Structure 1
């Protein structure tokens, strides 16, 4: 299991929730919902030692929760860096973005499992994880 997956599952177990907003609050990260350019889904940054997870207010609640989990992954896995999630770029996804995606998916699915015979895409939709084309 990857470091991102292990960390996500450990965090969910520690706080007994797969709600990224609650975990962010417990870890004293400030979550802000802001008007951002449409190409920016969210980002994490630190200002005077305070970590912020900033989410685009144009996202629906389900997608915003996923972005919050993604940015929480950055804040936990890559604490010394600032990250922007920009959609529709021509550049391949980098290591840190892949790790944040793995973290978000593992975190949000920590207390759920696919039903017998359930396709992974349907499972993801059922628990609020965007599937290909939505990420």
Structure 2
């Protein structure tokens, strides 16, 4: 996914940060926190949406821990930047598995999380998820073919 690496390199060069709050601010993507049972979330942690006038919003649960919240914001930012033709990552008929994998890859790479193979030796993906704060589903998509 070299093209995603290029997007990330451009972001880091231009904005000199990998912080999702700062990046959303620079890119004029609003972050709106919602109660977990809000119908807009449709049982998801978050979703990205762009309207017909190109206003962009990430709706996210207001009860996530900070590590998970940052990863999820990076994931949704990945939808915004890697699939700019999508109006919404939640309500689309495109190849959902492919766009989710791209957004997870984007979030993982931009987060700067480094995996120390020695430290993680013998751990399951669930244990690695708990250790790093990266959602289990994201790790599954990225590391299990």
1:84 aligns with 2:85: no
Between the two structures, name the one with larger relative contact order (CA 8 Å, sep ≥ 6): 1
Equivalent position of 1:17 in the other structure = 17
| Whole-Å separation in 1 of the counterparts to 2:137 and 2:102 | 18
Unaligned runs of 5+ in 2: 140-145
Alignment RMSD (CA, Å): 3.0
1:38 Cα deviation (Å)?
A: 7.2
Partners of 1:63 and 1:129 within 8 A in 2: yes
| Whole-Å separation in 1 of the counterparts to 2:97 and 2:45 | 16
Equivalent position of 2:50 in the other structure = 46
Q: How many residues align?
A: 126
Equivalent position of 1:4 in the other structure = 4
Unaligned runs of 5+ in 1: 86-91
Higher Rg: 2
Normalising by structure 1, we get a TM-score of: 0.74
Normalising by structure 2, we get a TM-score of: 0.69
CA deviations 1:53-107 (Å, max 9, x no partner) are: 111112212111111000000001112211139xxxxxx9610000000000000
Q: Relative to total residues, which structure has the larger helix share, 1 or 2?
A: 2
